Amino acid sequence: MNRPGDILDGEAGGSLMDDEDDPAGEISRIEAQLEELAEVSERCRKFILVSKVAIAGGGALLLLMILGLFGSSPAVAIGSIAMVLGGIVSLGSNVSTLRQTMADINDAEALRSDLIGRIDLRVVGDRADIRR
């Protein structure tokens, strides 16, 4: 699997020099990479949500235990602290990955727009112009 930054490094499907001859192929490759990056960002968003739930759940469990509403068990205390810490670590990791992925998406979209701008597009007239 390609890293998110591969789109601009030329590692995901050839060098940019080869793709000057075939901008349509390069655009297709970039669009495939954009789909992959979109999937990565969606996974990060899901992990961010799960991390926030783990932080809130661990904090609530610890609070209930402190207030004496859940009982006082060392295992529950350690488990709730582990949930909070694990959620914080997971949240930080996935937020930074999401930021990097979004930056890569923006770079890839700019590159795709540049390549589309280089293509010599022809204007297709209406049917009345074709009959003449």
Per-residue pLDDT tens over the stretch 30-65 = 999 999 999 999 999 999 999 999 999 999 999 999
* 130 falls within a domain: no
Quote the pTM value. Answer: 0.70
For residue 64, what are its two tokens? 């209930």
| Residue 127 resides in a domain | no
Does residue 96 belong to any structural domain of this protein?
A: yes
Say which amino acid occupies 87. G
CA distances from 6 to 14, 36, 37, 100, 128 (A): 11, 11, 11, 12, 47
- Assess if residue 29 is contained within a domain: yes
Domain ranges, residue 25: 6-118
Residue 124 lies in a domain: no
Percent of the chain surpassing pLDDT 90: 55
Residue 30 belongs to a domain = yes
Q: Is residue 123 part of a domain?
A: no
Q: Tell me how many domains the chain contains.
A: 1
123 secondary structure, DSSP code: P
In a domain, 97, yes or no: yes
- For residues 20 and 24, give the distance between their C-alpha atoms in angstroms, rounded to a whole number: 9
pLDDT band with cut points at 50, 70 and 90 for residue 79: very high
